[in-house]
Chains A and B, each alone.
Chain A
Amino acid sequence: MLLTRYITFRSLATRKLRTFLTLFAIALGVAGIFSIHSTNQSAYISITRLFEGTSGRVSLEVRSAAKVGGIPQELLEVVQAKEGIDWAVPILILPATLPGETPVELDLTFFGAGAGGLILHGIHPEDDPKVRDYEITQGRFLSPGASSREVVLVEDYAREQDIAVGQDVTILTGSGLVDLKVAGFIARDGAGLTNMGKFGVLELALAQELADREGELDHIDIVAGVEGGPASLEELRESLIASLGEAYTVVYPASQGDRMAQMLSGYQIGLNFMAGIALFVGAFLIYNAFSMTVVERTRELGLLRSVGMTHRQVTAEVMIEGVLLGALGAVAGAGGGALMFRGLVELMSQITGQELEVGGLPLGIMAGSMGVGMTVTLLAAALPARQAGRISPLEALRLRGRSDDRWLLRYGWIAGTALLAASAGILIWNPFPYDVQFRLGSLTVFSLFFGAMLVIPVTLQAWQSLWRWPFRLVFGGVGDIGTRNLERAPKRTMLTCAALLVGVSMIVVTQGMTGSFTADLYPWIDAYIGGDVILGSSVPLNRDLKEKLESLAEVDTAAPVRYIQVSWQGEREVEEISFMAVEPDSYTAVTRFVFSDPEVQGEKAVAELSRGRALFISSVISEKYGLNPGDDMRLVTREGEKEFRIAAVVLDFFNQGLGVTGNWADLEELFDIHDVNTFLIKGAEGVEIQEVMTRIAEDYQEEYQLVIESNQAIKQRAGELMNQAFGMFDILGIIAVMVAALGVVNTLSMSVVERTREIGMLRSIGMTRFQVVLMILAEAALLGIIGGLLGLGFGVVLTRIFLAAMGAMSGYVLPFILPVRAFWLSLFVALLTSQLAALLPALRAARTPMLSAIHHE
């Protein structure tokens, strides 16, 4: 058998391009699965670590029931006196910034805009390390006692800022500048992970002094000493709530990590879907390449059969090729996957605004994806190999592909129609509850896809006659001859169309999702990032700044905005939502609200908001909880639960749409908050935006550590951020289209090889080389049209499923808007791809030597 093995290796070597492309397909699939799974894993590990690091061993937290504002320090003793508590440590959060550190742009993530900056925790130096890990990397930890004006910073951050241990640093807090001595550095791990490592700690009393919040805490972290798991912890929690009273609440420290995990899981569903597609297109390409090789080697294999090789041995020959390619491809894929993994992690970090750990290579996942790659390769090679085994010795003397696709024509459409009907039924009839449906979603998608694919063979003739006239116009009479060839290898045609379908539908989905998003998102972004200039700061801004700003000649209006987290007593449970406080007058002078109901009388709604105790709720909340104007919402304030009347529903995607807009007066009165997050500035008539920015910078930037950005710049960055999120789909669409193109190349090459004699005959009876090219191009064009139109339809359905699934999951209900561009783009891409891919086989066909074609046989 050594000789035949040699023949196999040689056959790989002579078909360099195809061998390379097959390897590429395998590697692509392996790399896709590997990188996607390791990214998922890394995301989970990062979240868990972040959560464990920052929360440490904390099992419960005491906070103000109003979410905002502090709690009195006396509470600490009350808590510590309770039974079943090992440790209770106080924390006061002190937002700060280093002068000169002012970022030039606002931090923009899907969680909203902020100004970054340093977070300092005021703690008890002896107690806190018992709850959280502080790894001293240089110097020492805080010495106890308020007299020491010391700070300990995360080393990475400090080094970035050129700060050394022992040095004095000037830090700006809400109450002004202060000099602190850097006692030591901690590692960016454990507690050092807080605020993405822009973090430090100081003595609680000192923090209270600097924050001007004597006797106040933000929360008390509790390490419970109870045995007996969740039940007894819940008991402890309830007893704490009972003894602390209404104004305070005790929560599990999980909510932050949960939010992140939820957000990531949405993205992961998308990633998994893509891994599935990578697998399919990879398998297709491998199958395609192997069939091609078998077709080309028919004579050779027939000869081997005639000199005494058994079916089995021939099959084994082809399978050995598969094993070899599979192994090589898997190794290459593992390498490529490691790189893609890093890229994906980077992308995820960008999108979530949360840095992810890369860590070491997850070897288990790597081995797993290599295994999947090998398996898929062998499965995809198995059919062509079996076909090779069935080559009769006689076939050494013939050069014709046979069609063994009869069952496909006979039964394929039945299975296909059944699948289509079933998935259409699920989609239209909608018999399942949302979460079941969501799980069924991907199943429906795949059954729809396979259904559409399986009906291609029986509909080929219909497609062909439907497009006969346009094809005659473009390609002449030979176009007809070309398109009819597709019927000769229905299986191959079906798979090639399916590959095109996947590519095109990816493009349609991207376009559709982007279209639907932007149609809703842009008006909101436009209003949300309203005014001409936005001011932010990493330290709390004083509301007095408003008057100072408005006194400038360049400024017309300055509208203060403050975001807080509030608890809302929903129907079943307490929900956390964001509350954006605005002064209705200044806000509407600078920007506008985007009411989701265009019929709404804006002025009346704003007037109602101005009267107080009223809210504008987001469309997401309205959809998700079935709330409408006129209904009431009970929010937990510092004064206890209060009712707010819903004045209108607005488009608002801040905090993933879980937000309400309220009145500034309510913020001051009910939440006792007086500082400002951002000012939206409207420039005075006829003043250039740049001038406004320069003037504000000159007068107030240093004093207030202002981040000044024009809303033009922010909008642009918001757009870029969104494009980045969609960019991944774009890339996948392009890869899918490329793979489809390779499929078209292989399919047409096969078709040309199989028809050598026929093409020779056509040439001999007077077909010019150019007409041969046209004939093959027409064949490809019909492939493109079938793949393109089906892909368009499939893409539209897929987009709707995605939108519906997203709506079910998060409450974002977006209108389905397919840009007209998507329609043309998909058909154009399908046609162009097929034509470009057909060029090589077409030229090869045109060079078919007539004589040998006729001579043989």
Chain B
Amino acid sequence: MNVLLAENLQKEYELGQHLVKALDGISLSIAQGEFVGIMGPSGSGKSTLLHLLGGLDQPSAGEITLAGEQVALLSDYQATLVRRRNVGFVFQFFNLLPTLSAEENILLPLIIDGQKPQAHEDRLDMILKRVGLQERRHHRPDQLSGGEQQRVALARALITRPAIVLADEPTGNLDTQTGTAMMLLLRESAKDLNQAIIMVTHDPRAAAYADRVVFLRDGRVVQEITFSADADLSMRLRHVIITQEELEA
């Protein structure tokens, strides 16, 4: 079952007299529990796509269906509610509130939604355990390492059981080891929680953890590879790198 369906997405930016075509007809569908990587050279439209899918911006044309609901053409308020309940974001820079503890940061979407955090204790405990932050739940962001901060951000994205988690270069700011741990966490979350995840990345090693990798160029999907479930990591990595080189040539 598809949780997310995007059809023929177009996005144009006006820059003075120029029209910049950031997205030029992208269609995409993602099933529940699927972990999709998006790759492409700088300026190919990866972030733009993610923003449209998450309802942060409106497409110039095309349709997006998220959890059975139209996301394009929503008012700002409606889009906000969709983001709040159906989308989880993880950004490259950790975007935590420095004044709140790790736990409070994770509960933020629920607090914003006016829900009682106590009602979600079980979910919180489960997710804290999953991201391995039980011991650190009362620490503030400046008392956490970069990897830990990013895990808090992931936990925050997961807490509401969103239809989809969108991550823009979540490992961009981490060293290789912590990056790898983050990838494992994303993959496990997708599997164990049956959570659809889309992740934009420059890093072939990160992309190798996904179930499927979509390649963009000049605002279009130029290639797509789906790994078979039993392919091991090094095979996947080789596949990604080869595809990347083919596309660049």
Contacts and interface: CB of A to CB of B under 8 A. Distances in A.
Q: Real complex partners, A and B?
A: yes
A767 B168 CA distance: 20
A857 B91 CA distance: 10
Contacts of A487: 99
Interface in A86-140: none
Given A758-B95, A851-B56, A766 B113 contact: yes
A468 interface: no
A841 B80 CA distance: 21
Contacts of A488: 98-99
Interface stretch (B63-71, B81-89, B219-227): B81-89
A820 interface: no
B97 interface: yes
Contacts of A476: 114
B96 to A, nearest CB: 8
Interface residues of A, number: 26
Interface string B46-57: 010001001011
Interface in B59-111: 76-77, 80-81, 83-85, 87-89, 91-93, 95, 97-100, 108-109, 111
A477 interface: yes
A55 B127 CA distance: 93
Contacts of B85: 766
Given A764-B54, A765-B112, A769-B76, A481 B83 contact: no
Q: Chain A CB within 10 Å — which of B91, B108, B112 has the most?
A: B112
Nearest to A403: B98
Given A480-B111, A488-B99, A768 B77 contact: yes
B156 interface: yes
B95 A477 contact: no
Contacts of B81: 766, 768
Contact of A484 (B77, B93, B100, B108): B100
Contacts of B109: 765-766
B111 A761 contact: no
Chain A contact residues: over half helix, strand or loop, or mixed? helix
B20 to A, nearest CB: 14
Contacts of B95: 757-758, 761, 854
B91 A854 contact: yes
Given A758-B95, A764-B89, A765-B156, A477 B111 contact: yes
Given A476-B114, A477-B112, A477-B114, A766 B99 contact: no
Interface residues of B, number: 32
Contact of A763 (B80, B93, B97, B111): B80
A766 B84 contact: yes
A850 B56 contact: yes
Contacts of B92: 857
A126 B155 CA distance: 105
A763 B112 CA distance: 10
A855 interface: yes
Given A851-B57, A854-B91, A855-B47, A767 B97 contact: no
Given A481-B99, A481-B100, A854-B95, 13 more contacts: A477-B114, A484-B97, A757-B95, A762-B97, A762-B108, A764-B56, A765-B109, A765-B112, A765-B156, A766-B80, A767-B84, A771-B112, A851-B56
24 contacts: A477-B112, A478-B112, A480-B111, A481-B108, A481-B111, A484-B99, A487-B99, A488-B99, A757-B95, A758-B95, A762-B97, A764-B56, A765-B83, A765-B109, A765-B157, A766-B80, A766-B81, A766-B84, A771-B112, A851-B51, A854-B95, A854-B168, A855-B47, A857-B92
Q: What are the 6 closest A-B residue pairs judged by CB atoms, nearest first? A: A766-B84, A477-B111, A484-B99, A761-B95, A766-B83, A768-B80
Interface of A: 476-478, 480-481, 484-485, 487-488, 757-758, 761-769, 771, 850-851, 854-855, 857
Interface of B: 47, 51, 54, 56-57, 76-77, 80-81, 83-85, 87-89, 91-93, 95, 97-100, 108-109, 111-114, 156-157, 168
